[in-house]
Amino acid sequence: MNTKKMITSLFPYNSVSIIGMEKNSGKTTTLNYILKILKGTKVIGLTSIGRDGEDCDRVTNTHKPKIYVEKGSIVATAKNLLCKCDITKEILATTGISTPMGEIIIMRALSNGFVDVAGPSYNSALIKVRDLMLGFGCDLVLIDGALNRKGSAGNLVSEATILATGASFSPDLTKVVEESSHNVKMLKLPRCSEKIADLTKQILKTGRIGFIDTQSNIEVLDLPTSLNSHREIIDAVKPNHKFLILGGAVSKGLIESIIQNRELFKSFTIIIEDGTKIFIDSNLYHKLSMIPVNLEVLDSINLLCLTCNPTSPYGYSFESEKFCELLKTSIDIDVIDVVGGLL
């Protein structure tokens, strides 16, 4: 994928989120890369879900790159971080959305400079901030997704998504490639049929968990979430059930319970809201598909490309060419090395 192609692929969208597989997978590097290639073509809006972009990673104590924005860009960040942004700031709006680091403020950069971004940590507030920024004349809002906050990739928040992977995930190259390809697979899970989508929406209107049987009848369980309710869900399965609908986050534990009770779930299809809601690794997914159980989504995610960072801040790196080559063969979307250059 070359620069031109990347720019063209971003062009149709007003909002794109960047999510990472792991800390230090190169999200910020990816962001800086996009900001650089789009320079002068679009007014960029920038925010994140939750806190990100520290000088120094709070969790692993490794150096983190800073985000460099161009004059004219619009940035939404928490008030206490304004002093860490060295752009000349024009305050455009205060949002009334509060975070541990103060209210989210929307500002315009009157000069180039580094910014420290911490956006709202829940989706509805993020949507509000995104719309405010678009209202101030942004052409494209980029959302920096924080660690394990894949929620920002959901269709409600952003129209398209970029996934960042990198050497920091594991020193074992094969493992990084395997998990990256698994993550792509989850984000690109197939959408269920229109008919099932309608029934699923009906279930999600009244509850979070439900079943659809062979006659297209629906049954809604009285459970607020699927977390910690494995037993109840498994006990509720009837022989004529065909689809299991899981609203909200789906944990590893539930999938493990389903695998343990494989006889009950033979030829089942599990419908989840979107690919960001399921938290299982490739191994578990493989076991699930062996039952066989299908995994489908209500809304598919528009995954634009995978970016990779062959250097790990823990002091080792992969051979860039080999890394990208392996990724490309196992994944059917475009792969970009944001550090070493374009491929």
Partner 1 sequence: MRYLDLKNREKIGLEYLINNLTTISPYGNQKKRNIAPIEDAETLKEIFDHLEFFIKRCQNNKKEIQKIELLLMKLKNISNIVLNLQKGKILDEVELFELKINIMIFMEIKSISNDIFLKDFHLVDLNSIIDILDPGTKKIPTFHIYNEYSKKLKDIRNKKSEIEKLIFSTKDNELQIKLKEERREIVVLENCEESKVKIDISKKLISYTSNIFIDINKVKDIDFTLAKAKLSIKYGASRPTIGEHIEFIGMFNPEILETLKVKNQEFQKLDILLKNGNTILTGANMGGKSVILKTLTLNLILAQMGFYVFSDHATIPILNFIQFLSDDIQDISKGLSSFGAEIMKLREITGCLTTYDKGFIALDEFARGTNPSEGKKFVKGLSNYMKDFDSFSIMATHYDGVVDDLTPHYQVVGLKNINFDSLKRKIDLNNKNSISLIQKHMDYSIEKIHSNFEVPKDALNVATLIGIDENLKNIIKNLY
Q: And the tokens for 136?
A: 């101030």
Does residue 88 interact with partner 1 by CB under 8 A?
yes
The alpha carbon of 127 is separated from its chain's Cα centroid by a whole number of angstroms, namely: 15
* Interstrand relation of 268-272 and 113-115 (parallel, antiparallel or unpaired): unpaired
Does residue 111 interact with partner 1 by CB under 8 A?
yes
Does residue 124 interact with partner 1 by CB under 8 A?
no
Minimum distance of partner 1 from residue 105's CB (angstroms)? 6
Does residue 91 interact with partner 1 by CB under 8 A?
yes
In the bound state with partner 1, the residue whose beta carbon lies nearer, of 84 and 262, is 84
For residue 6, give the H/E element and its range.
helix 3-10
Does residue 90 interact with partner 1 by CB under 8 A?
yes
Q: For residues 18-77, which are near partner 1 according to CB under 8 A?
A: 71
Answer for which of 92, 156, 264, 284 binds partner 1 (CB under 8 A) is: 92
Q: CB neighbours of 225 closer than 8 A, spacing ≥ 6? A: 208, 209, 247, 248, 249
Number of residues that bind partner 1 (CB under 8 A): 18
Asked whether the beta carbons of 250 and 150 are under 8 A apart, the reply is no
Minimum distance of partner 1 from residue 11's CB (angstroms)? 23
Does residue 82 interact with partner 1 by CB under 8 A?
yes
In the bound state with partner 1, the residue whose beta carbon lies nearer, of 89 and 242, is 89
3-state DSSP percent of the chain in helix, strand and coil, to 5: 30, 30, 40
Asked whether the beta carbons of 204 and 197 are under 8 A apart, the reply is no
| Other Cβ atoms within 10 Å of 17 Cβ, number | 29
Minimum distance of partner 1 from residue 56's CB (angstroms)? 17
Q: What is the contact surface with partner 1 in residues (CB under 8 A)?
A: 71, 79, 82, 86, 88-92, 94, 96, 103, 105, 108, 110-113
